[in-house]
Amino acid sequence: MSKWKKVRLGDVGNSLIGLTYKPEEVADNGTIVLRSGNIQDGKIVLNDVVKVSKNINSNLLLKNGDILICSRNGSANLVGKSAIIDNFLENVSFGAFMMVYRSPLNFFIKHFLQSGNFRKQLTRSATTTINQITKQTLDNILLPLPPLDIQKQIARELDTVSELLKLRKQQLEELDQLTKSVFYEMFGDPVRNEKGWEVKKVESICINIFGGGTPSKKVKEYYEGDIPWVTPKDMKSYWITDSEDHINELAITISSTRLVPSRSLLMVVRSGILKHTLPVAINLREVAINQDLKAFVFRDDVSVIYMLYLFKMIEKFLLKGVRSVTADNIEFNSIKGLSVPVPPTYEQSKFADIVTQIESQKALVKKAIDETQLLFDSLMSKYFDD
């Protein structure tokens, strides 16, 4: 890349500032105006769109090949996220905190805007300290620009790997959906319980239910152990094998946290994430937890895998009870007293066996995703990093 000349984005394309509109111009019918939330994972999604009734300059209507960029947001990490417009709807514009970049070279530049080099240059810009990109900032970004034939070759290579990554992620989503479909097929809707399974309170099918705590942060020695100390930030998977922070046995002795037996169910009961998601997971080894989690230790005749998916199936129902005091939290007594369908143990075990098989397939797909992502990151670094 060192042999490639560097050019300003403003010299090979044009950047446009998004549309400003008044609240009274929002209407049920009119031009769709995209905002930062409409860019997700490098794609345009039409969830939660705004429509405005005012006349819009045709130059501010999106065209195929445009790159839509988030130019302002409350989070610096979201500023600069982008997506290319491809086979898009007509009569769509973009809002004031968005920008569009137009260039005949966007087939190549779309990849550069996803690179670490682009992000570093944004970070060095003074305007990003207030989480904003100006037209001048974007125009002054330096793009390493090889000859056109090499641009096309690089774009084809990155497009191929990117599409493969997309397909593998889609495969993972389909496996997740398969598990949910199997649950519904075997047990029906757990809220309606149309199959008439025996209903029991959650606390009645548990050996124990308890919370956690935080050893004093002032004593560094407490955090010099090998016992995983699970907090909401670790609850990103259904299977917990480790955590970011670790403590030792002394920390457990002097604090309100305690060891959670392996293959218990962990649930986040206090976190902002409860606005939209109920994180639950099964710990595959002994762990400790902080006060934002609860641990359910189920009886031997109750499958923890069945209960994990049951909680996910009734997630929306449970989140209706989330209240906000100093933080978003679930009224835990209502969880303990919740009546849930409990099928015969052999039915639960059958479901658990199917989940185990699906999880094995997911593990292979995740490995393929990691390998493909590594290849993509390597190519991006090769072509765009200084």
Gap between the Cα atoms of 113 and 70, Å rounded: 11
**Lowest mean pLDDT: which of 147-156, 166-175, 302-311, 323-332?**
323-332
Residue 302 backbone phi and psi in degrees, to 5: -120, 125
pLDDT of residue 77: 67
The answer to whether 111 and 384 have CB atoms below 8 angstroms apart is yes
Tokens read off for 56: 């819009």
Instruction: List, for residues 230-277, the tens digit of each pLDDT value.
Output: 999 999 999 999 999 999 999 999 999 999 999 999 999 999 899 889
**pLDDT recorded at residue 44:** 84
Q: Which residue has the higher pLDDT, 58 or 76?
A: 58
Can you give the pLDDT at residue 171? 97
pLDDT at 329: 85
Position 29 confidence tier, pLDDT thresholds 50, 70, 90: confident
Residue 315 pLDDT > 90: yes
DSSP 270: B
Residue-level pLDDT at 103: 96
Residue that wins the pLDDT comparison between 27 and 355: 355
What residues does 239 pair with on adjacent strands? 282
pLDDT at 2: 55
Site of tokens 């290319």 = 84
Mean pLDDT for the chain overall: 91
- The pLDDT confidence band at residue 30, using thresholds 50, 70 and 90, is confident
Mean pLDDT computed over 22-46: 85
Q: 299: which 2 tokens? A: 């009886």
Residue 217, burial from CB neighbour count under 10 angstroms (0-12, 13-18, 19+): exposed
Question: Residue 354: CB partners within 8 Å, gap ≥ 6?
Answer: 179, 182
Write down the pLDDT at residue 76: 56
- Residue 12 has what pLDDT? 97
The closest of 50, 61, 59 to 22, measured between CA atoms, is 50
Token code pair at residue 281: 């997971």
- pLDDT for res 40: 84
* Domains, the chain, with CATH or none: 5-145 (3.90.220.20), 198-342 (3.90.220.20)
What pLDDT was estimated at residue 284?
A: 97
**What residues contact residue 292 under an 8 Å CB cut-off, 6+ apart?**
212, 231, 232, 268, 269, 270, 271
Residue 142 predicted with pLDDT over 80: yes
pLDDT exceeds cutoff 90 at 105: yes
> Which pLDDT score, from 0 to 100, does residue 87 have?
74
C-alpha 374/C-alpha 129 separation (Å) is 30
Residue 324's pLDDT band, with cuts at 50, 70 and 90, is: low
- pTM, two decimal places: 0.79
Report DSSP state, residue 273. G
Please give the Cα distance from 201 to 291 (Å, whole number).
Answer: 23
Mean pLDDT of 29-54: 85
State mean pLDDT over 24-34: 87
